[in-house]
């Protein structure tokens, strides 16, 4: 297979992906955006941060944020792998353009 054929096929795959993503965005706006589950997802992404900010020990803010960043990074990598491999899906995404559930959003 020559280079031009590879480029042509990869362009077709990307075009199919772009069409599927556009359909996903349309359905998300139609069925999920501003529903009670969507508001619940927003609340569960914001309220824990507000509670943490109120009750955490201010002396250890840096250490807590570094540990949280490390754990968030690991969970995002593993979650993205699971979603991309088709092991699970999130039918009620808070934001449709982020693969998997992004903590804090």
Q: pLDDT of 28-61, one tens digit each?
A: 999 999 999 999 988 988 998 899 889 988 899 8
Q: How many domains does the chain have?
A: 2
Q: Are 24 and 18 in contact (CB under 8 A)?
A: no
Question: What percent of the chain has a predicted confidence (pLDDT) above 90?
Answer: 42
54 touches 74 (CB < 8 A):
no
Boundaries of domain holding 101:
36-105
Question: Do 14 and 60 sit in the same domain of this protein?
Answer: no
Whether residue 98 is found in the same domain as residue 57: yes
- Residue 6 and residue 57 share a domain: no
**What pLDDT score was predicted for residue 105?**
46
Shared domain for 66 and 43, answered yes or no, is yes
Task: Indicate whether 99 and 70 sit together in one domain.
Answer: yes
What's the confidence (pLDDT) of residue 99?
59
Q: Do 48 and 25 share a structural domain?
A: no
Are 59 and 93 members of one domain? yes
Residue 11 has pLDDT above 80, yes or no: yes
**97 lies in the same domain as 68:** yes
**Quick check: 13 pLDDT over 90?**
yes
Distance CA(75)–CA(22), nearest Å, equals: 27
DSSP result, 41-78: HHHHHHHHHHHHHHHS-GGGHHHHHHHHHHHHHHHHHH
What is this structure's pTM?
Answer: 0.69
What does the pLDDT look like over 63-104, one tens digit per residue? 999 998 999 889 888 888 888 888 988 777 888 876 555 554
Do 98 and 54 belong together in one domain? yes
Residues 49 and 6 in one domain: no
């Amino acid at each position: 297979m020559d280079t031009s054929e590879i480029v042509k096929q990869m362009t077709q795959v990307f075009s199919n992906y772009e069409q599927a993503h556009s359909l996903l965005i349309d359905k998300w706006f139609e069925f999920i955006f501003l529903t009670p589950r969507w508001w619940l997802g927003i609340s569960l992404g914001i309220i824990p941060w507000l509670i943490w900010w109120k009750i955490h020990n201010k002396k250890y803010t840096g250490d807590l944020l570094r540990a949280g960043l490390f754990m968030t990074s690991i969970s995002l990598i593993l979650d993205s792998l699971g979603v991309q491999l088709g092991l699970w899906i999130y039918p009620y995404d808070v934001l449709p353009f982020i693969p998997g559930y992004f903590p804090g959003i």
